[in-house]
Amino acid sequence: MRLLIVTDAWKPQVNGVVRSLEYMAEQAPAFGAEVMFLTPQLFRSVPMPSYPEIRLSMVMPGQMARLIGEREPTHIHIATEGPLGHAARHVCRRKGWGFTTSYHTRFPEYLAARAPIPESWSYGFLRRFHRDAKAVMVSTPSLERELIGRGFRNILRWTRGVDTELFHPRQRQSMGLPRPLFLFVGRVSVEKNIEAFLSLDLPGTKVIVGDGPARAELERQYPEAYFLGTRSGVELAQIYASANVFVFPSLTDTFGIVLLEALASGLPVAAFPVTGPLDVIGSSGCGVLDTDLRKAALAALDIPRDRCRAYAESFTWRESARQFFTNIEAAHAAG
C-alpha cells in the first residue's frame, strides 16, 4: 500500500490530529504500508483568523491533481475538511479515485461558539464533504452513533493510542505550588470550555498547560491559576505525573488524546459525561464523570494511580494503526 494522506492540520500545530497522523506514519512499515503526506508546508498559505497557527493553504485543483499524480498512491486518505481536503476531494471525484476520510473535529460546535451559524448548516456542509468517501473514520462509539443520527454513512472505528514509554508515573515534583494540583492540558481557546474549570472552587492550585487565543483573557480573569504555556516531551510528561487530577472540561472534543496521556502518567480524570470522556473513561474506574465538575474533581483525588496506568496500557498506537490500515484496505475492497 502506498498511502497518500492529505491534511490541513500539520506541524507546527500541536493537536490530536497531527499526533495521530504522525504515529500512523511511524507504524506503517509494520503493516506493509508506505505513507506520504500533502500538508500546508508545500503550499503558500495564510493564517486562519483567530487561529494564526493554523495555515489555510492556497491551492488549485490542477496543482493538487499534479501533486497526487507525482506520488502515484494506491490509496488516498483525506484527513481534514480544509482547503487541501476539499481540493483533494474534488480531484478524486473528478478522476474517479476512491478515497477515505476521517472526522476529527466538531467544527459546527466550534463555529457556533464564535458566530451565529446554526449547527445544522455546518453539519450539512460536513455531511456533503464526507458522503463520497468509501469510509469515514471516527474515534469513538458515541461519535459514531451521533454522526449516523445526522445522516453520515460508511462509518468505521479508528481508536487512538498513547506513548506509554514517554508518559508514565514518575516521582512527583512539588512545582512550588500548593497541593492538590488540578491540571488541564490543551489549546487555550473558547471551545475547550476551560473557564468551567477555572471558575471551580477547589483546594490547591489549578495548572494550565497550553497556549491559544483565550490565554491572555483567562490569565487576567483568573490570576490565581498557574499558566505554563506550551510544554512537550519529557517536560510535559513530568507535569502530568506531578499533578493530582486531570480536569477535562471540554464538551466538544471527539476523543481527547490528553486523557490517555494523563492516565498513562497515573493521573485520574475528572470530566463531564459527554462524547470523549464517556468512551475513554467509561466505567473503568479511572475517572469521575459528572455534570458537577467540582464534585468530579474532588472525587477523583481518591482514585489509585496504578489503576489509571494499567488501564492506559490497553491503548496502544500499534492497535490504532492496525485499525487505521485495516479500515483503508477494507473500504477499498468493498468497491
Q: List Cα–Cα distances, 58 to 68, 81, 84, 150, in angstroms.
A: 16, 14, 8, 31
Q: Are 115 and 225 in a shared domain?
A: no
Predicted TM-score (pTM) of the model is: 0.90
Is 175 among the domain residues? no
Same domain, 125 and 185: no
CATH of the domain at 216: 3.40.50.2000
- The reply to whether 120 falls in a domain is yes
pLDDT exceeds 80 at position 261 = yes
Confidence category of residue 220, pLDDT binned at 50, 70, 90? very high
Q: Average pLDDT, whole number, for the chain? A: 93
Residue 132 lies in a domain: yes
Q: Tell me the residue range of the domain where 229 lies.
A: 181-312
What pLDDT shows up at residue 16? 87
Count structural domains, the chain.
2
The model's pLDDT over 94-139, given as tens digits with 9 standing for 90+, comes to 999 999 999 987 776 766 666 677 888 888 999 999 999 999 999 9
The grid cell for 121 is 448548516
Q: How far apart are the first and last CA of the chain?
A: 16
Asked if 68 contacts 89 with a C-beta cutoff of 8 angstroms, the reply is no
Query: In this structure, are 303 and 327 located in the same domain?
Result: no
Classify residue 166: in a domain, yes or no. no
Q: Is the pLDDT of residue 335 over 80?
A: no
Both 9 and 40 in one domain: the answer is yes
Give yes or no for residue 230 having a pLDDT over 70: yes
221 and 326, same domain (yes or no): no
User: Do 35 and 152 fall within a single domain?
Assistant: yes
Q: Higher confidence at residue 45 or residue 326?
A: 326
Residues 18 and 148 placed together within one structural domain of the fold: yes
Name the 3-class secondary structure at 262: helix
User: Do residue 141 and residue 22 come from a single domain?
Assistant: yes
Specify whether 53 is located in the same domain as 195.
Answer: no
276 and 326 housed in the same domain: no
> CA 139 to CA 137: how far, in whole Å?
7
Q: What is the mean pLDDT of residues 46-55?
A: 72
The helix/strand/coil state of 111 is: helix
- Residue 111's pLDDT is 65
What is the pLDDT at residue 62?
A: 92
Q: Does 237 fall in a domain?
A: yes
The answer to the question of residue 43 being in a domain is yes
Cα–Cα dist 112/110, whole Å: 6
Whether 169 is covered by a domain: the verdict is no
* pLDDT above 90 (res 53): no
The answer to whether residues 79 and 57 belong to one domain is yes
**Cα dist from 77 to 7, 11, 103, whole Å:** 9, 18, 12
- Grid coordinates of 331: 473500504
pLDDT digits (tens, 9 = 90+) for 131-171: 999 999 999 999 999 999 999 999 999 999 999 999 999 99
**170 within domain boundaries:** no
Q: What is the pLDDT of residue 136?
A: 98
194 and 91 assigned to the same domain: no
